[in-house]
Structure 1
Amino acid sequence: MNEMVKLSKKDRQDRILTELRVSTTIRISDLAAELGVSYETIRRDLEEMGQSGLINRTYGGAVVRPFGFEPAWNERFNAMTEERERIAATAASLIEQREVLMIDAGSTTLHFARRLAAEAKNLTIVTNCFAVAMAFSTNPTITVLACPGEYDPHDGSVMGPDTINYLSRFNANRAVIGASGITVEGPNDVHSSAAAVKRAMLQRSQEHIVLLDHSKFDLPNLDVVCPLSDIHRLVTDQAPPPELGAALGKARVEILF
């Protein structure tokens, strides 16, 4: 029991995830008793894990998050805004005038687009995201090429064969993409159609930049976009956990935070 009381918050939340993967659903009172902490401590853990997308909250407990689920983009945009603004500022500092960028749909990439629109000049943007395209409308020096395709209101973007074919026409200096999660296998997405757009952008770009906050670390989802070795830079808000950090180092990914 004493050993359980000394668990760090991260270790405690890892234990909660392990329990959920075994039991599928579990009550707060059971978790509190097993981990030797108060009901309120577990409740706060579950609230934080729910906001990060790791789990789905239920009345009095939680269930493990399905690999194919993610909140809508406008809900994600309003979460962890301070962290995502820092990521956006770091990523925007990498961009030079007259570059061509491919930017996909996502809450963090939208923060990046807004920051870039306020600071950059003379860029060409290719995007499948309506909100990203609109963000650049405030800057008359930036040209936006919007992809065609089937509109997905959940992501506020277009996807599908027409989107992929359109992207294949262009060359870009950099692809800037988000991800639903990242593991030692690589960045991933809950939707295969969104992952296909990310892959198409990476294939047409010289440099590959992934933007994501720490809540996405070690978070598996349905479709692995690419191996870690295909990423050149990961821009985040804090250092990855040891195993993931070692895998990124082995893949020679530059980590900026």
Structure 2
Amino acid sequence: MERRSVRRGTRRRHDLLLSLLRQGTTRVEDLAEALSVSASTVRRDLSRLGAEHLVARTYGGAVVPESFHERPITDSARVQTVAKAAIAAAARELVPPDGTIFLDAGTTCAALARILVESPDFGHLTVVTRGLETAMILTEASFVDTIILGGRVRPLSHGLVGPLTELGLDRLTFDVAFMGADAIDVHRGIGEPTLEETAVKERIAAAARQTTVLADATKLREPAAPAWTRFDPGWLLITDTEAPDDLEDRAAAAGVAVIRAEPARPTDENRTSTPVS
């Protein structure tokens, strides 16, 4: 009975310890004080929780590692809208007036698709996509020949994956491939929720003369994704002005070029005026 009580006490202390870590208390000494136990007890607890993969040890303490959560496309469409619009506008400058491009699934690539169909200065553009929303937008433009790849539709992203998708990619080449990502690391490449996604992204990059990744700054702060696609040096990242200050230096060391897209300034027509009282 006493041993069971001790186990309950340990579990309760572990729960409190995890709660403190999630709230930002990470140093051993601070944790010990908050729990009214010795520092050595906290270290033993952290070692046990680390063995269970519930915490990640750091110098002098620990953190709770964040898990990767793929966001549904309907939710993604409501966040970082200004940054995505700026990135899409910068990417539009890289689209050839005539030629073939690849446009990925995802909301940032869909924003680029919207800009393309509203641009009157293109010749005849062929756009290949694996995104359902992207394809629907592109069909609005008479000068765009829209090709959608076959495959299995992923429920969250509405992107196509699988052998049929890869089969189509094996028969195509692109002047530029514009790709989205769930996470970005200039050394590791782009992070995705599944190995299927990474396989598709690798085929896309192999078929493109230029690989360009469109990703807002939050993707640079994402926790480690389950799967990664590494590109050859020379790819381009278009992000927004909220990206880390040292991004360009780290990217240059990895052979990656970076464009920071500035948000559009409001025009006199859409700027709201404040009435004078």
TM range (shorter): 0.7 to 0.9
- 2:170–2:203 CA contact under 8 A, matched in 1: yes
Does residue 1:207 correspond to 2:210, yes or no?
yes
Aligned to 2:52: none
Q: Which residue identity lines up with residue 70 of structure 1 in the other structure?
A: E
Aligned to 1:66: 67
Q: Which residue identity lines up with residue 223 of structure 1 in the other structure?
A: A
Aligned-residue offset at 1:78? 1.4
Structure 2 counterparts to residues 106-117 of structure 1, below 5 A: 106-117=106-117
Q: Give the whole-Å Cα distance in 2 for the aligned partners of 1:65 and 1:215.
A: 14
Q: How many residues align?
A: 206
Q: Give the whole-Å Cα distance in 2 for the aligned partners of 1:76 and 1:136.
A: 20
Aligned-residue offset at 1:212? 0.3
Aligned-residue offset at 1:148? 0.7
Does residue 1:185 correspond to 2:188, yes or no?
yes
Q: What per-residue deviation string (whole Å, max 9, x for no partner) do you get for residues 49-103 of structure 1?
A: xxxxxxxxxxxxxx75423x21111211111101100000000111121121112
- 1:24–1:64 CA contact under 8 A, matched in 2: no
TM-score, normalised relative to structure 1: 0.72
Q: Give the whole-Å Cα distance in 2 for the aligned partners of 1:149 and 1:110.
A: 19
Aligned-residue offset at 1:239? 6.1
Q: Give the whole-Å Cα distance in 1 for the aligned partners of 2:142 and 2:214.
A: 25
- 1:25–1:64 CA contact under 8 A, matched in 2: no
Aligned-residue offset at 1:152? 1.5
- 2:84–2:111 CA contact under 8 A, matched in 1: yes
Unaligned stretches of 5+ residues in structure 2: 1-16, 31-63, 261-277
RMSD: 2.5
Aligned-residue offset at 1:27? 7.5
- 1:218–1:244 CA contact under 8 A, matched in 2: no
SS of corresponding position for 2:240:
coil
Structure with bigger gyration radius? 2
Aligned to 2:230: 226
TM-score, normalised relative to structure 2: 0.67
Does residue 1:100 correspond to 2:100, yes or no?
yes
Aligned to 1:162: 164
Aligned to 1:127: 129
Q: Which residue identity lines up with residue 111 of structure 1 in the other structure?
A: A
Q: Give the whole-Å Cα distance in 2 for the aligned partners of 1:130 and 1:191.
A: 19
Aligned to 1:152: 154
Q: Give the whole-Å Cα distance in 2 for the aligned partners of 1:146 and 1:112.
A: 16
2:201 to 189, 198, 208: 198
Q: Which residue identity lines up with residue 156 of structure 1 in the other structure?
A: H
- 1:101–1:125 CA contact under 8 A, matched in 2: yes
Aligned to 1:253: 256
Q: Give the whole-Å Cα distance in 1 for the aligned partners of 2:249 and 2:102.
A: 28
- 1:104–1:176 CA contact under 8 A, matched in 2: yes
Aligned-residue offset at 1:127? 0.9
CA distance 1:242–1:164, shift in 2 (3 Å): same
Q: Give the whole-Å Cα distance in 2 for the aligned partners of 1:24 and 1:91.
A: 43
Unaligned stretches of 5+ residues in structure 1: 1-22, 36-62
Q: Give the whole-Å Cα distance in 1 for the aligned partners of 2:234 and 2:196.
A: 20
